[in-house]
Amino acid sequence: MQPDHKTISIVLAMALAVTQLIPRECKAQLQKVQTSFCETGSSDEQEQMKPIPLPKEVLTAVTNSREVREALANAKKVPSDLDLAKMLIGVSIQLSNNRSRYFILKSETDPITGGDNTWFWIVRQSGDQAKTLLWMGANCIEILPARTHGYRDIVAHWSSAAVTKTEIYKFDGRTYKLRHSRWRNRKPSDDQ
């Protein structure tokens, strides 16, 4: 028995409706997993990040990073009771579908921060080992749903009164690398 034209029309209409609905649903799902960590200046910023106690391996990876070592070496006055664990806040994030744990850490406290930005680290912990995958100075970072080599892409934003810089970092199989950088002059309307 062959289906009539009315049945074929109904089936085609349903198939078309489903194909138009799926991209919207997928896009909505992707937007839900995008995560931002920004320097907002608000007093409840730590609440927004929902900081967690950081594993000692993760803290060690950051404190042994070149950036922290250089900042401490160049600091004019480093207190003898300096506790870097108290200077860093961090959250656990999902960067990849493997069994490792991932963290974003940030510091806005001298001597481990920039003069006009916040320092961020992306750290992977596997068992009792941790590795810094990315360090960056920015005002805001976004963990995108898009992936490269199974790891989510990262965008860093930095602005001054005159310019804005956007950087895109992608995983290369071992660590994150800068893949695109864009500078643009700011307009008065950017602050409104």
Q: Which pLDDT tens digits describe the chain residue by residue (192 residues)?
A: 555 555 545 544 444 443 343 333 333 333 334 366 665 444 344 434 577 888 999 999 998 888 888 887 877 666 666 677 778 888 898 899 888 999 999 886 777 777 778 889 999 999 999 999 999 989 889 999 999 999 999 999 998 889 999 999 999 999 999 999 999 998 776 665
User: Strand, coil or helix: what is 5?
Assistant: helix
For residue 53, the tally of other CB atoms under 10 A from its CB is 8
User: pTM of the prediction?
Assistant: 0.72
Tokens encoding 118: 């916040």
H or E stretch at 69:
helix 66-74
User: Strand, coil or helix: what is 110?
Assistant: coil
Please choose, from the candidates 35, 62, 45, the residue with its C-alpha nearest in 3D space to the C-alpha of residue 135: 62
Please choose, from the candidates 65, 67, 51, the residue with its C-alpha nearest in 3D space to the C-alpha of residue 131: 65
Looking at residue 20, its pLDDT comes to 42
Looking at residue 52, its pLDDT comes to 83
Burial class (CB in 10 A: 0-12, 13-18, 19+), 22: exposed
User: Strand, coil or helix: what is 94?
Assistant: coil
Looking at residue 102, its pLDDT comes to 95
